[in-house]
Structure 1
Amino acid sequence: MDDIHKTSNEKVHVLSVSSAPSHHVHHAVMTHVGGIEYDKTRRRSTIHSYTLSNYHALSHDPQTMRAVHEMTRAKAYKNVIALGLAFMFVFTAFVSIQGLQSTMNWEGGVGVTSLSSIYVTTIISCLLAPWIIQKLTTKWTMIIAFVLCTGYFAGNFHPEHYMLVPLGALLGLLGGPLWSAQATSITSISLAYSEHIHAEEQEIVVNKMMGIFCGLYRTSNIWGNLITTLVLGKNETLHVPQYHNFSTNSTCGAGYCLTVEDELNHGIYFSQNAMRTISSKTKIMLLSIYLGCGMMGIVILISLFDQHKNSKLKCRDDVLSSKETFLATIKMFKDTKCLLLLVIVVFIGLEQGFMFSDFTKAYISCTLGVTSIGPVMICFGAVSSVSCILIGCIASRHIKRFAFISAGATFNIGLLIVLWLWKPSTLDIPNFFVVAACLGLCDAIWQTQTYTLFGIIFMHKQEAAFASYRMFYATGCAIAFGYSYFLCVETKVLILAVVLIIGLICYCVIEMKVQLQSQHIKDIVAL
């Protein structure tokens, strides 16, 4: 009888607590499942409720609670917008200069070689990202990376191998930590703000903040291509020939299939003509604009982005030693959820590489000429930017992540079918902008949802999680650029479709695991 009476009292206690306001409920009733502590009273509506592996609330030490108390709406939005603007300025320059390297610095292949050094060292730097961020903090990691970016822009005034390749390698060494620090900052700000307003759905806040950042950052595609188009358009000597298809048995679109010899012959032909038509004065004007954009990004980050007293809002985990932090990214590969998610991250990198390498070359340039790349890519950047903001601020409140990713994957597969069957011609110019807009929409869905997913699942090890994310994203980009000269476009489209399907299956496995675990925890709460 005493046991029954005790159990009855416990049930009454749970019910009475659950009717209290949400900010009192948070610490009220906890339960242990497999040695992991869960908040039984935290009500969440999605199938990934109570988190995916272990629910880590922010720690309640005085420093963290003070940060939560100070993270007002104005402060949270100020930091997210400042970070988005800083990345917008820096990557406006980087996107533009990346697109011009193969033509502006063609002699000896110095431009493309410097870009390769960036991607290679970026993959390596992802292993060091948690350790670097722990030593420098998120803010100063991003500031130093921006300084190296600006140094790389300046190095293009004197494009020699001994100048650009080392600068590119140095930039890549902080490429992984840069993106890991950015994602960690956005997630930490979002979690602190959600605790400050006692939000029941932390993921909605994270999704919204990530959408705002991605929306601002993605406008770099607009401004970068706009600057290039306007400056080169005013160059009186610019009469760049159309992108000719040198192979007699190839066509534009999915049928585009040049041999390595054809590509090399085309590269020499086009680069020499382009270099002769871009005057030294125009080149200096472009590089000066890029240098100014880089410096503006540094100024915004230093002056407007707040330095958190701790590099991240700590969870209930113990503080890691330097050695443990150094090995944190490698240990992520032992996490089943991380391995399953990395397939879809590789797909995102592959599709980005396809967009900036094959779509611009085999569809736009082959049919309309190189001068049409800028306007079409502006359309891509505009749709991607607006979609990121809408998805983060509006749609995420009413549509769950699983529905978003499923719809995005279905839409993306349909788009790949269009790219496989479409035979572009000069008579269907609007279709180029429609396809670019669709690619921008898919890009927005993948960017916002996967970043949010990593931030929520791996809340307790953000730096390592986002470092592994960036590593496999860069790997996907490197693979896409690497096989660009060896595979036909039709084959590349099929590869994208296969990887996307595998990635979606892996994601569904995770969601099913989450649903089962969530139901298990709900059964415990019901007790």
Structure 2
Amino acid sequence: MSTESPERATNSGSLDEFLGFREEVHVTMDNHTKELQKLSHGGCNDDQDAVTLLTNTVVADKAKHNPNSERNPDIEVTSNSLTVSSMTKNQIMKNLSMICTSFFLMFTSFHSMLSLLTSLSKEEGMGTFAIFIECSFFMISAMFLASFSIDRFGVKLTLFLSTFTTLSLMAANLYPVWAIMVPASIVCGLGAGPMWASQSAYVSELSKHYANITQTKLKDSLSFFFGIFFMSLNGSKITGNLLSSLLLKQNTQANTSMTLEEIEDCVANKQEAVSNATSLERPDDMTIYTICGTWIGIASLGIVVSAFLSPVTIYGDEYKDGKREAIYSKFLASTKHFWNSRLQKILIPLSMYYGISNGFLIADFTKSIVGCTLGIQTVGDVMLCSGILNTVSAVLVGPLTKHFGHLPFFTIAFLCFGGVQVSLLIWKPGPENGYPFFIFGSIWGVADAILKIQVMTIYGHLFADNIEAAYGSYFMLEAAGFITSTAYSVFLSTDVKLYILLSFLVCSAISYYTVEYIDRKQNKRQDVEQ
């Protein structure tokens, strides 16, 4: 008799093979022919009987090879075309709600901090350099530490422990000097890779359980679950920037009196003007202590929530069997995909552009454009509008894409980004009229949401057979773009950085339309052959 194995499909869209935390369960059919015949002919009264029957079958067979292992309820069994999951729908949605709540709380603080970091620590570009260091070590940890941590500690424990590193950079703002900011940025970056990898793996596994129970396509389940998660994450931008605005408005001693010439020099990112800008003066110590304490308190609450997540691996996060893959083998998978895929090479400008544009938004738009002109206390208000439009767009883009396709939305995103960047080159900002800042921030939020969702979707579509390595390449390129943007931020004027953004935008549009043409051509060829 043959042996069946629930092998992981390479086009499932999950990260488990890439991260190396999932194991296969082999069920010997010789010993269970009667049970499976009973199941296939309706011998079970309901779904719960079916779950119990196949779960016991798997556990009994597994126990023969691993008598010391403990049973974990999170088991998926595949026999021919039948797939069963013992995790109930309520359990799945409870854990999804908990991880969304956890990241919402943590990133309410983190987004609030990012909006103000370059302004609160503007001396010698300390805030911008801190972001550069954090992203650099994020790349390193994503390539090397993520798979290692999950393989050794499991998904849940890796997620829980890595979230503590986000507190380091928040606490460093209490006394922002180089000797504190640099180590804090390194710690935050080293924890970011394992945190995001374990988060993606956790949500991916929940979506698989959900697809098994509801008998829906895994692609639709992944889109649904990640859509909910990113809606929650984008919502933290709203609350984070609202928090920044409310806390900074307590600083009644803020001095925003600057001449028009001083404002123009500050907006242009002339370092002497930025250093002397009264609109970017650091608030008093009591306000800083209140801001940082609030950040740490809210983020700590999110970490506590993550501690109550249920494990989602087959025999629990604590169960490990077989040989662990070498750390470098995980990285080589992404490297091999990167160099062997023609479409991946074409998508390099588009993948890097998202990181470069976010680097400009965080390091330049908030400080040089909004902060210099309207004052640091207005940064939260502008970014609040951006976050609201970003969240609303993220909710609407998914359903609308089903009706109109990806091409129109990519075009809308390119036009929105280009329109704002050209306007910033032409327009001369002044404190007498603050409405354009809110308009530009809102349009940027719409374009940001559209581009992020569409890029993630097109990667999942084009590289379905090697999805883990493809997403690894994407995050590496996005981080490289962000690092590049923050690296030259201190040395170049604002208008030069806008020209660089526009150049990358044009290259990104060309790369996307090229890939779209190739993909449609291949689809037509396949239709003809069929």
- Using the size of structure 2 for normalisation, the TM-score is 0.74
| 1:240 maps to 2:255 | yes
**Cα pair 1:184 1:462 within 8 Å, conserved:** no
Question: In structure 1, what residue type is equivalent to 2:232?
Answer: L
Identify the residue that residue 266 of structure 1 maps to in structure 2.
274
Aligned-pair Cα RMSD in Å = 3.6
1:149-298 to structure 2, matched below 5 A, reads 149-157=166-174, 159-199=176-216, 202-236=218-252, 238-242=253-257, 250=264, 256-258=267-269, 262-267=270-275, 270=278, 274-275=281-282, 278-298=283-303
Partner of 1:402 in structure 2?
Answer: 407
Secondary structure of 1:219's aligned partner: helix
Match of 2:109 in 1: 93
Q: 1:492 to 1:157 in 2, by over 3 A?
A: closer
**CA distance in 1: counterparts of 2:167 and 2:424, whole angstroms:** 36
| Map of 2:52 onto structure 1 | none
Q: Distance in 2 between matches of 1:390 and 1:134?
A: 37
Secondary structure at the aligned position of 2:161 is classed as: helix
Assess, with a 3 A threshold, how the Cα gap between structure 1 residues 251 and 162 changes in structure 2: closer, same or farther.
closer
Aligned equivalents of 1:412, 1:74: Cα separation in 2: 41
1:361 aligns with 2:367: yes
- Once residues 342 and 485 of structure 1 are traced to their aligned partners in structure 2, the CA distance between those partners, rounded to angstroms, is 25
Matched, 1:341 2:358: no
Deviates more, 1:289-298 or 1:352-361: 352-361
- Structure 2, unaligned stretches of length 5 or more? 1-8, 12-22, 27-57, 59-74, 318-322
Please tell me whether residue 83 in structure 1 is matched to residue 99 in structure 2. yes
Q: Secondary structure at the match of 1:171?
A: helix
Q: Provide the rounded CA distance (Å) in 2 between the counterparts of 1:448 and 1:204.
A: 14
**1:356 & 1:245 partners in 2: Cα distance?**
24
- Give the secondary structure class of the aligned counterpart of 1:65: strand
Gap runs ≥5 in structure 1:
1-36, 40-57, 313-317
The structure-2 alpha-carbon separation of the partners of 1:109 and 1:347, relative to structure 1 and needing over 3 Å to count, comes to closer
**Does the 8 Å contact 1:346/1:473 carry over to 2?**
yes
The worse-fitting range, judged by mean Cα deviation, of 113-122 and 155-164 is 155-164
- RCO (CA 8 Å, sep 6+): is it higher in 1 or 2? 1
1:467 to 461, 468, 472: 472
d(CA) in 2 for partners of 1:242, 1:209: 48
Report the alpha carbon displacement of residue 376 of structure 1 after superposing the two structures with TM: 0.8
CA distance 1:208–1:245, shift in 2 (3 Å): farther
Task: State whether residues 177 and 467 of structure 1, in contact with CA within 8 Å, keep that contact through their aligned partners in structure 2.
Answer: no
Rounded Cα–Cα distance in structure 1 between residues aligned with 2:92 and 2:410:
27
> Quick one: distance in 2 between partners of 1:489 and 1:243?
19
The change in CA–CA distance for 1:471 and 1:176 in structure 2 (over 3 A counts) is farther
CA distance in 2, matches of 1:458, 1:354: 29
Q: Does the Cα contact within 8 Å between 1:244 and 1:366 map onto a contact in 2?
A: no
SS in 2 for 1:234: coil
Q: 1:116 aligns with which of 97, 114, 132?
A: 132
2:381 alignment counterpart: 375
Q: 1:203 to 1:243 in 2, by over 3 A?
A: farther
- The CA deviation string for residues 256-277 of structure 1, in whole angstroms up to 9 with x for no partner, is 534xxx4145325559x834xx
Cα distance 1:326–1:221, how it changes in 2: closer, same or farther (>3 A)?
Answer: same
TM-score in terms of structure 1 length: 0.75
Q: 1:69 aligns with which of 71, 85, 95?
A: 85
Partner of 1:48: none
Partner deviation per Cα, 1:204-227 (whole Å, 9 max, x = no partner):
443333222222112222222222
CA spacing shift, 1:452–1:415, aligned 2, 3 Å: same
Q: Number of aligned pairs?
A: 455
Q: Equivalent residue for 1:518?
A: 523
- Do the aligned residues in 2 keep the contact of 1:405 with 1:445 (CA within 8 Å)? yes
* Aligned counterpart, 1:430: 435
Match of 1:141 in 2: 158
Q: Is the 8 A contact 1:349 1:476 kept in 2?
A: yes
**SS of 2:143's equivalent?**
helix
**Equivalent AA in structure 1 for residue 101 of structure 2:** L
Write the distance in 1 (CA, Å) between the matches of 2:333 and 2:258. Answer: 47
Deviations 1:336-373 (A, max 9, x none): 33333332121111111222232223432343233221
Q: Is the 8 A contact 2:155 2:311 kept in 1?
A: no
